[in-house]
Structure 1
C-alpha cells in the first residue's frame, strides 16, 4: 500500500482502486478506517478511488501529538496527499464527519479543488443547526418498520438529552435504508474500525470556526454536490438544502430510500448521481 509523509512526519497510507479520473475520498466516523467505504457501491467502474486512512486509523501510523487529530489540523495531510499524487487540482469526496475535513480543505485551498462531493455530511464545520424535530420528522418516515417503536423511543431520548447508554445503540436502524443482517454486521464493524481517542479529539475546541468557513465557502467556484439520504436522521434533508446553499455552484441530490450510507442502500442510484456530477465537472460549472 502506498504511503506518504504528513507535514509533521506522520506516515499516512492511502488505497487506490478502480478506473477513471481520481477521486480522493475522506472517511467519516469520525476517525474510522477508510475500509468501510469499500468501492462506494461500484463507483470504481467510473472513478479511481483514492481512500485516505486518516492519521491513527487503518494502516496509517499514530501521530506523536494526539492534538493533531483535530479536524482542522488534518487539512495539511490532505494537501500533502494532493502533492504526492501530483495533481494540480483534486476532486474530493467527504462522507459524514469526513465532509468537515473536505470543506475545511476547500475553504483553505479553493484553487486546488476540482469538484467537491459531500455525502450525508456532518455540519459541524459550517455551524448549521439540526433540530430534534428535524431528526424525529425524518425518523417518522420509517413508522411502518417492525423495529420502529423502540428505536423511535430511544431517538426521542437521544434528541432530548436524556439518553441512557443503550439508547445510542438502539437507534442504529435509523442509519440504514434496510435494517437487516448485513446492516447489523456493518454496524458492528464500525466499532472495531474507529479510533476512539482520535474521534474524541476530532471536533475539540478550536477545530471549527464556522462563520469564517461559511464566508470562505461562498468563494469556492468548484462544482459541489450535496448528496442526502431520504431517511438519514444524521443529515436531514431540510438542513442539507441549507448546506448546498452555502456554495455558489451546488446541487442537492436526495437519494430515495437511503440512510446515512447511500452507496449501500442504493448502489445504482448513488453511482448514477456521482457519475452525473462528474459530467458536470467536464462541462464546467454554471455560467462558464
Structure 2
C-alpha cells in the first residue's frame, strides 16, 4: 500500500541551465522511472503512490519537471513543449546513470512517455501507460460525452462561459468540480500527496500545453496524436485505466488497437487515480507486469 516515504537520495540536475530536482527511493537493480501528470504539477502525488514499490525490490525515481515543485520555475512560455520535456527526461535518466528503465507515465506523463519511447526506444525495458491517451482529438470527444451526462442545460451553460471566457464563474466551477469528483478522484477526501501537488500547481505550463481545466483542451497539445506511431514501440507495454477515468477506457482501447501485444487492465471502482482509489487491484496489476518483464540493466 502507498505511504509517504523520505527519499534515499535527492539530486539536483542541470538541464539547459535550469535546476531539476530528482528523488530516488531504494537500491534495486530494476528502476521504475515515473513521469507525473499535469503539466505543471509537482511529482508528489505520483512519487508517493509508487515509492512503496521499494518493498518489492525496485528502485523508484521521480522528478519535478521544469516549472514545478522544487525545480526552477522560469516564465518563458517557449519552454512548455513536449519535445523539450522529452529531452529533459533523457537528461535526468542519463545524469542519474539509470541505464534501461521501466518507464511509467501517468496522464500528461503518459503523453511524455510515449514521445520518449518513440525518441529513445533503446533506453526502455518496458512502458506503463497509466490513465493516459495517445490521441487528444479523440479524448476531447470522450470528454464531451462525459460532461454530456450532466445534462443539456449544464453543458450549454459551460459552453456559454467558455465562449465568454468567464471560466471562473461559480456555476461553471461547480460543474468542473462535479466532473472532477466523478472522473479524476472519486474519494470523499483526496489523499494528502494529491492535494499537495494541486496546491502547488503552476498553471503556466498547464494552460500553454493543455488548457484552463481538465475538460477543455486549447493548448499546444490539442492536436497531438501518436496512434499512427504506436506500432513503432517494441517494448512490452501495459495500459492501465480506471473504469470511470476522464481519460476513458475507450482511449485505452484506441491505444490497444494500435499495440496489439500491449496488456490492458481497467481498474474497477476508480477514475484517474486508481493507485489511491483502488490500490489493491492497481498494485497487483502493476507488480505482475513488472515481474514478467525483466530487469533494467
Count of aligned positions = 267
Aligned residue among 44, 49, 52 for 2:54: 44
2:83 is aligned, of 61, 72, 87, to 72
C-alpha distance 281-90 of structure 1, shift in aligned 2 (>3 A): same
Contact 1:229 1:257 survives alignment (8 Å)? yes
What secondary structure does 1:32 align onto? coil
> Alignment partner for residue 224 of structure 1, among 214, 237, 240?
237
CA distance in 1, matches of 2:153, 2:244: 14
How much has 1:217 moved relative to structure 2?
Answer: 2.2
Cα separation, partners in 2 of 1:188 and 1:103, compared to 1, 3 Å: same
Partner in structure 1 of residue 23 of structure 2: 15
Q: 1: distance between equivalents of 2:239 and 2:67?
A: 28
Question: Deviation at 1:199?
Answer: 1.0
Partners of 2:285 and 2:152 in 1: CA distance: 33
Q: Counterparts of 2:65 and 2:11 in 1: how far apart (Å)?
A: 14
Q: Is the 8 A contact 1:117 1:224 kept in 2?
A: yes
1:115 Cα offset (Å) = 0.8
Over 3 Å counting, the alpha-carbon distance change for 1:36 and 1:65 in structure 2 is same
RMSD of aligned residue pairs (Cα, Å): 3.1
2:128 matched to which residue of 1?
Answer: 117
Alignment of 1:179-218 (within 5 A): 179-180=187-188, 182-183=189-190, 188-203=195-210, 207=221, 210=224, 213-218=226-231
Q: Superposed, which structure 2 residues align to 1:1-288 within 5 Å?
A: 1-6=10-15, 8-18=16-26, 20=28, 21-40=30-49, 42-46=52-56, 47-63=58-74, 65-124=76-135, 130-132=141-143, 134-135=145-146, 152=150, 157=155, 161-162=159-160, 164-175=172-183, 178-180=186-188, 182-183=189-190, 188-203=195-210, 207=221, 210=224, 213-232=226-245, 234-282=246-294
Q: Give the 3 Å change call, closer, same or farther, for CA 210–70 of structure 1 in structure 2.
A: closer
Q: Distance in 1 between matches of 2:224 and 2:88?
A: 21
Quick one: structure 1 residues 122 and 217, their matched pair in 2 at CA, closer, same or farther if it must change by over 3 Å? Answer: closer
Superposed CA deviations along residues 203-262 of structure 1, whole A, max 9, x for unmatched, are 476557745x33332111101111010121x11112211122222531110111111100
Which digits, 9 at most, give the CA deviation of each residue in 1:174-200, with x for residues without a partner? Answer: 1356431x2286665443121111211
TM-score where L is the length of structure 2: 0.78
SS in 2 for 1:131: helix
> Kindly tell me: are residues 275 and 261 of structure 1, through their superposed partners in 2, closer, same or farther at Cα, counting changes over 3 Å?
same
SS at structure 1 position matched to 2:294: helix
